[in-house]
A and B are shown apart, each in its own frame.
Chain A
Amino acid sequence: AQSVTQLDSHVSVSEGTPVLLRCNYSSSYSPSLFWYVQHPNKGLQLLLKYTSAATLVKGINGFEAEFKKSETSFHLTKPSAHMSDAAEYFCVVKGGTYKYIFGTGTRLKVLA
């Protein structure tokens, strides 16, 4: 069975400092993994996805994630946080043919 765990429900960083949002997954298959961002009262926007090509995936807005099979992790990072990064972030694993499993979300707060 597939599952995904976002290890932090809230993360606070200062503007200009690095961001790390953690995600661990469990999958019987070679997984497809995604990160989405949701700004307040908006829909979910795709940040990046991993589909068994390069293990380091670059996304939009300076975000990237590294797929580590040995650690079953897919953490999201950004070198320097911007105020506009404040949002909720969801890690998603595609389990099987049809099912997408969402993490519970990490709310990122960026302090001025």
Chain B
Amino acid sequence: DSGVTQTPKHLITATGQRVTLRCSPRSGDLSVYWYQQSLDQGLQFLIQYYNGEERAKGNILERFSAQQFPDLHSELNLSSLELGDSALYFCASSDPGETQYFGPGTRLLVL
């Protein structure tokens, strides 16, 4: 158990809908990262937050947004969902020593 929690574990929704994925980092970690993993694209970095502020952006679509709250949990919002958004979404948090710890992921299926 990495100490990073993600909810929900599974999510099934329809095209055009909006969903919110939640992540709680390990106690004491200030950084949160979001990744998308799909069969055709592999593991893609989406976005990073540090202590409530956006720090780095990767291949995140405009339909996706994220935020980190004062209690350090983070939410990834996915809107106008398309079939191609079906993937595993991982959250990770990092310690001051740079090691990333990954959550178990949220499996999103868009029908």
In the complex, how many angstroms separate the beta carbon of B79 from the nearest chain A beta carbon?
A: 25
Question: Which residues of B have CB within 8 Å of A105?
Answer: 42-43
Task: State A49–B100 Cα separation when bound (angstroms).
Answer: 10
Task: State A43–B90 Cα separation when bound (angstroms).
Answer: 7
**Chain B 52-111 residues near chain A, CB threshold 8 A:** 55-56, 90, 92, 97-105, 107
Task: State A2–B48 Cα separation when bound (angstroms).
Answer: 18
Closest to B103 in A: A43
Establish whether residues A51 and B55, one from each chain, have CB atoms under 8 Å apart when the complex forms: no
In the complex, how many angstroms separate the beta carbon of A46 from the nearest chain B beta carbon?
A: 6
Establish whether residues B100 and A100, one from each chain, have CB atoms under 8 Å apart when the complex forms: yes
Task: State A41–B39 Cα separation when bound (angstroms).
Answer: 12
Establish whether residues A102 and B104, one from each chain, have CB atoms under 8 Å apart when the complex forms: no
Closest to B35 in A: A102
Closest to B91 in A: A43
> Among B43, B45, B56, B102, which residue has its beta carbon within 8 angstroms of that of A45?
B102
Judged by a CB distance under 8 angstroms, whether B17 is at the interface is: no
Judged by a CB distance under 8 angstroms, whether A109 is at the interface is: no
Task: State A32–B96 Cα separation when bound (angstroms).
Answer: 13
Establish whether residues B45 and A100, one from each chain, have CB atoms under 8 Å apart when the complex forms: yes
Question: Which residues of B have CB within 8 Å of A102?
Answer: 42-43, 45
**B interface, CB within 8 angstroms of A:** 2, 4, 33, 42-43, 45, 48, 50, 55-56, 90, 92, 97-105, 107
**A interface, CB within 8 angstroms of B:** 32, 34, 36, 41-46, 49, 51, 90, 92, 94, 98-100, 102, 104-105
Instruction: Please list 27 pairs of residues, one from A and one from B, whose beta carbons are closer than 8 Å in the complex, sorted by A's number.
Output: A32-B98, A34-B99, A34-B100, A36-B102, A42-B105, A43-B2, A43-B4, A44-B92, A45-B2, A45-B102, A46-B99, A49-B98, A49-B99, A51-B97, A51-B98, A90-B43, A92-B100, A94-B98, A98-B48, A98-B56, A99-B45, A99-B56, A100-B33, A100-B45, A100-B100, A104-B42, A105-B43
For the A-B complex with A41-B107, A43-B4, A102-B42 known, give 13 more contacts whose Cβ atoms are closer than 8 Å: A32-B98, A43-B2, A46-B99, A46-B100, A49-B98, A51-B97, A94-B98, A99-B45, A99-B56, A100-B45, A100-B100, A105-B42, A105-B43
